[in-house]
Amino acid sequence: MSDSEVRDLNACLHTLAIEARELYLHDTVPVLDAPPSPLQFYRDYVSSNAPFIIRNAVGHWPAITKWNNKFLKETLGDKQVSVAVTPNGYADAINDGYFVMPEERQMKMGDFLDTLSEDSSSNGVFYLQKQNSNLTTELSCLMPDVDDHISWATEALGKLPDAVNFWLGDKRAITSMHKDHYENLYCVISGEKHFTLLPPTETYFVPYGDFPAAVYKENSKGEFDIVPQPDIGTVPWITVDPLSPNLKKYPEFGQARAINCTLKAGDMLYLPSLWFHHVHQSHGCIALNYWYDMEFDIKYNYFKFTESIGDICRYHKKAKEKIKKKESS
Ligand SMILES: O=C(O)CCC(=O)C(=O)O
């Protein structure tokens, strides 16, 4: 493929991002006064793949006033839970040329909660974040304090959520930028969550690399080793940190239009499928998300097509850089 053909493809991807911004996206996430009807949810948001926030959407749930460390310790202190442990707060992120997953530890809920206390001497950053519907499995005794699904979403989407996940952790725990194939209804119970969002139409600006998989493992000296996982192979992952992007290395990202939003206790975000998101939080923030599997329809098809075009452009850029490097050495 010639340089000018690659430039044409890049220009198409650029136009895609700009047209989506002009046609239906906003600079901020729209805030609704009340939950949408199932029809409004489907017609105005799911089908156009556009997010919204409802302030205090779940303020009436008993969880909002009940769930705090004391209550969780009293009711669940002896319960075994899966906790993600990392040296730096980044689970599922790039470190030292690897895509590194957290060390997954089974521990008592009470011991996990102790790691969040101010005087904790625990080594590493602990995040209860297992995305296997841990609310309905490991923590099912908390279910009476919340809804087990979001009724208008269930009706609109014609299915129940695949997973309801419980998130609680350290303020240093960061979820690096990624996307999911779920329609996500994200609710904060206590504390604050900060989201950086990018629609899938901005894919051109988002740099990816392929990294061999690894996991963290704490050694006898209390250091975290990065242990390669050759059985998993390589994982494509986003290389840029949207909060402090290295624009020298990833100049395209400078043109991306990220949308930031913060959710407080009681708030709900509709995070549409395939949107890139980076998440951080206040210390001890508790949240739940309802993951409804997306429809693998033409929208998904188009996204995969766009992604493939982006991969071709990146492949050519890398190949050109290699040639340039070879020529100058
Ligand atoms: O709360 C977080 O740390 C991450 C949430 C997330 O990635 C998701 O809801 O898909």
Instruction: Determine the pLDDT at residue 121.
Output: 85
Residue nearest to atom 5 of ligand 1 (CA): 279
Q: How far apart are CA 312 and CA 295, in angstroms?
A: 26
Average pLDDT on 4-16 reads 92
Tell me the Cα Rg of the chain. Answer: 21
Average pLDDT on 309-315 reads 88
Instruction: Determine the pLDDT at residue 329.
Output: 80
pTM: 0.95
Instruction: Determine the pLDDT at residue 299.
Output: 93
Question: Does 319 have pLDDT greater than 90?
Answer: no
% the chain with pLDDT above 90: 88
Instruction: Determine the pLDDT at residue 314.
Output: 84
Instruction: Determine the pLDDT at residue 44.
Output: 96
Average pLDDT on 155-167 reads 98
Atom of ligand 1 nearest to the CA of 167: 1
Question: Does 76 have pLDDT greater than 90?
Answer: yes
Residue 21 pLDDT grade (very low, low, confident, very high; cuts 50, 70, 90): very high
Instruction: Determine the pLDDT at residue 328.
Output: 85
Question: Does 1 have pLDDT greater than 90?
Answer: no
- What's the 288 CA to ligand 1 centre distance in angstroms? 9
Ligand 1 neighbourhood includes 224 CB (under 6 angstroms): no
- What's the 179 CA to ligand 1 centre distance in angstroms? 10
Ligand 1 neighbourhood includes 134 CB (under 6 angstroms): no
The CATH homologous superfamily of the domain defined by 3-328:
Jelly Rolls (2.60.120.10)
Q: What are residue 169's DSSP bridge partners?
A: 127, 285
Question: Does 236 have pLDDT greater than 90?
Answer: yes
Q: How far apart are CA 130 and CA 304, in angstroms?
A: 27
Ligand 1 neighbourhood includes 289 CB (under 6 angstroms): yes
Average pLDDT on 223-250 reads 96
Q: What is the pLDDT of residues 104-131, one digit of tens each?
A: 999 999 999 999 998 888 899 999 999 8
Average pLDDT on 191-212 reads 95
Instruction: Determine the pLDDT at residue 325.
Output: 85
Three-state secondary structure readout of the chain: CCHHHHHHHHHHHHHHHHHHHHHCCCCCCCEECCCCCHHHHHHHHHCCCCCEEECCCCCCCHHHHHCCHHHHHHHHCCCEEEEEEECCCEECEEECCEEEECEEEEEEHHHHHHHCCCCCCCCCEEEECCCCCCCCCCCHHHHHHCCCCCHHHHHHHCCCCCEEEEEEECCCCEEEEECCCEEEEEEEEECEEEEEEECHHHHHHCCEEEEEEEEEEECCCCCEEEEECCCCCEEEEECCCCCCCCCCCCHHHHHCCCEEEEEECCCEEEECCCCEEEEEECCCEEEEEEEEECCCCHHHHHHHHHHHHHHHHHHHHHHHHHHHHHHHC
% the chain with pLDDT above 70: 100
- For the chain, the domains span 3-328
Instruction: Determine the pLDDT at residue 136.
Output: 95
